[in-house]
Structure 1
Amino acid sequence: MSRTAARLWLLPRLLRALLTPRPPAAAQPTRILVLHHLLLGDTLMLTPLLAKLRTRHPDARICLACPRPFLPLYAARPFGVEALRFDPRDAATLAALQAAGPWDLVLIPAENRYTPLARALGAAHIVGFAGDKPAWKNRLLDEAHPFPQSPATFADFAAGLVDGPPPAPYTPQDWPWAEPAAFQRPAGRYAVLHLGASSPLKFWPAERWRQLAAWLIASGIAPVWSAGAKETALVRAVDSEGRYTSFAGQLDLLQLAHLLRHATLMVCPDTGVTHLARLTGTPTVALFGPGSAVICGAGQYWRYSPFIALSEPIDCRNQHHTFRREADWIQRCGRSHGDGPGQCPHPRCMEALSLASVQQACQQLLAQ
């Protein structure tokens, strides 16, 4: 894959699109594309947008641009949505998106850097949020919605890109699942303890994971470790003797979803797997350190989900931007891990989450 090859594919088609009269926007679009290249959690938080699109356009072909690893999660076509592989560095995926068109409506729910691609794909109407930076990203929007200036989850305000009432609250029955590749799922009651996250600043102390695992055993629930393929060292640091079953680095996302569907409980940092557990309906305790429990919380769409977000006030969660937009209500920390200027050397926000508070949240979910 080559970013240069992708740009060479894009530029002549964009120029042609800019010089060619566009078709009028369709009153009832029949081909709709949600265009993004987000991480797992943000991708799954687009679920209420997909649900609302299907309600508003029951007969339309609705497609979701999607990184390759996420495609199996959409294989059974939830809400009748078709996931199309997309990598902005891969010209073949751009050509495939064009071949799947023409697109009556393209929705860009996060950064507007994909507006040139939307025009190159021949979009008749492009919708996104105003205020992206730099300003050139916004110029090709046909419809620019104001970024929310009051607290809301990304899931809820992304759905606001489509006019009309909000979608019905999510239930696990809304999401059909393809059959995963075979693996040995634990028998009996078990809790998935997912240790990994996108940054070391989201890691909970190893000793507290050990203590939580012991407490679960005493409660009659077997702990099961989970982490990504590059995070297996986290599990070894917590359970060096291998006392408990570990699936770290062994499961693809569809297998992990299957593991979560049958779990009694999950505890994890604020990461993509948190949102996967919401799709499966797994009772979840999410540990929020630098991230925002407002932006990434349950919100209105998942208000009936068994989900508890734990977060403690801390003075350095003091940045007010997401997706390059500013809003006073946003409180998060996007600093990288390190000792340099503007970095954070130590995850005080995660250490502020006590074992007792996590146990209490687990008990609350187990009692439901």
Structure 2
Amino acid sequence: MRIALLKQIDKLIGGVAAAMLPAPRAAETVTPKRLLVIRPGGIGDAVLLIPALAALKERYPHAELVVLAEGRNGATFALCPQVDRLMLYDRPGDLLEVLRGGFDLVIDTEQWHRLSAVVARLARAPLSIGYATNNRKRLFSNGVPYSHDDYELFSFFKLLAPLGITAPESFTVPFLTVPNEAAVRAEALLRGDEGRLVTIFPGASIPERRWGAARFAELAQRLTLAGFRIAVVGGPGDREEGELIVSGCGGLNLAGRTSLVESAAVLARTRLLISGDSGVLHIAVGLGVPAVSLFGPGMEAKWGPRGDQHRIVNRHLACSPCTRFGTTPRCPEGARCLSEIAVHEVLAAAQELLSVRF
């Protein structure tokens, strides 16, 4: 509900503000001492932004790198030691400090909505960069094109092109760093069972991206019979589904028991993650953990994990993908693109990555 409300506010207020604010002056050449990167939205975007943040810090090692995020994705940046300071939209004092300015460079990484572009403009940096996807482009000194055909990790690098930073041809993993205290907590929770551990994340930000607890439970039972131990990760809202999944296999339900960073530490110790299109999936990618991912509404070309250590299960129905710029329409057919994925298909993908026979 909160996310839907924010989108409505952005449409009504952000669009008007983007049209009425004066355009910035022509871009200046700067060697930034203090730079701001704006990243609203979910966890997945935040994770895939981190390689670009590392490249930015490598170019300007003595600059203070500040990230302005939201409460729902801010914890992700604890996995990025290059970030010097995290600030939150949700914290009025932080937002007011940003609006007071003092930055030499502002990069808005939001792909479509306008409020973040308004914040970038009001910060009054001599150099500002953002995606030119609608009238938000007039608020930046450097507007950058955006394509749905690019893997999102590489899309973020396009924002660095005005700074002379080019995207790598490929990316190396891991590009996330798990803090030591989270690693210690994960070790205590898992009690040394990592060697045969398969982790499941059943959650999603919207119902259309959920495969269903019953299917995950059947999958968990089959994996347990093959000698693997199951752990479920997720937030408090995934706790009930987690209990259903592990009830028939004796697994470990960690949903609601670990922070985001601690969940990342659990993933770092697992053999395989099985998940829908989610932020947790991208954390696994950033940690170099093999993953089986289920795609339907989301754009596989943009969000699907890259590399031989991953498998994507996607029915490729004529109506999918249907998500654009983070908005998924209500499905009149019960999200067939996911519901028609059979347990045996996911199991076969897991078998390939685990190199075992079931």
Provide the identity percentage. Answer: 24
1:125-152, Cα deviation, whole Å (9 max, x unpaired):
21111122xx2x3321111112227x21
Q: CA deviation at 1:207?
A: 3.4
Q: 2:302 is paired with a residue of what secondary structure?
A: coil
* CA distance, structure 1, for counterparts of residue 333 and residue 322 of structure 2: 17
Aligned residues: 331
Q: CA deviation at 1:352?
A: 2.4
* CA distance, structure 2, for counterparts of residue 81 and residue 251 of structure 1: 23
Matches within 5 A, 1:212-223: 212-223=219-230
Look up the match of 1:281: 288
* CA distance, structure 2, for counterparts of residue 75 and residue 91 of structure 1: 21
| Change over 3 Å in CA distance of 1:173–1:199 after alignment to 2 | closer
1:28-81, Cα deviation, whole Å (9 max, x unpaired):
223221112111111111123213312333332222212235444434643x22
Aligned 8 A contact 1:115 1:140 in 2: yes
* CA distance, structure 1, for counterparts of residue 52 and residue 257 of structure 2: 31
| Change over 3 Å in CA distance of 1:20–1:334 after alignment to 2 | closer
* CA distance, structure 1, for counterparts of residue 213 and residue 315 of structure 2: 19
How high is the TM-score relative to the length of structure 2? 0.81
Matches within 5 A, 1:60-209: 60-68=63-71, 70-75=73-78, 77-78=80-81, 80-87=82-89, 90-98=91-99, 102-109=102-109, 110-111=111-112, 112-132=114-134, 135=135, 137-148=136-147, 151-163=149-161, 164-167=165-168, 169-172=171-174, 175=177, 177-180=179-182, 182=185, 184-186=188-190, 187-188=192-193, 189-209=196-216
Aligned 8 A contact 1:52 1:166 in 2: no
| Change over 3 Å in CA distance of 1:40–1:46 after alignment to 2 | same
Q: 2:65 is paired with a residue of what secondary structure?
A: strand
Look up the match of 2:58: 55
Which one has the bigger helix percentage? Answer: 2
| Change over 3 Å in CA distance of 1:320–1:280 after alignment to 2 | closer
* CA distance, structure 2, for counterparts of residue 201 and residue 21 of structure 1: 40
Q: Aligned AA for 1:185?
A: L
| Change over 3 Å in CA distance of 1:203–1:152 after alignment to 2 | same
Q: 2:300 is paired with a residue of what secondary structure?
A: coil
Q: CA RMSD in A?
A: 3.2
* CA distance, structure 2, for counterparts of residue 73 and residue 220 of structure 1: 32
* CA distance, structure 1, for counterparts of residue 226 and residue 248 of structure 2: 21
| Change over 3 Å in CA distance of 1:202–1:176 after alignment to 2 | closer
* CA distance, structure 2, for counterparts of residue 182 and residue 214 of structure 1: 26
Q: 2:35 is paired with a residue of what secondary structure?
A: strand
Aligned 8 A contact 1:191 1:224 in 2: yes
Which is further off, 350-359 or 66-75? 66-75
Q: CA deviation at 1:293?
A: 1.2
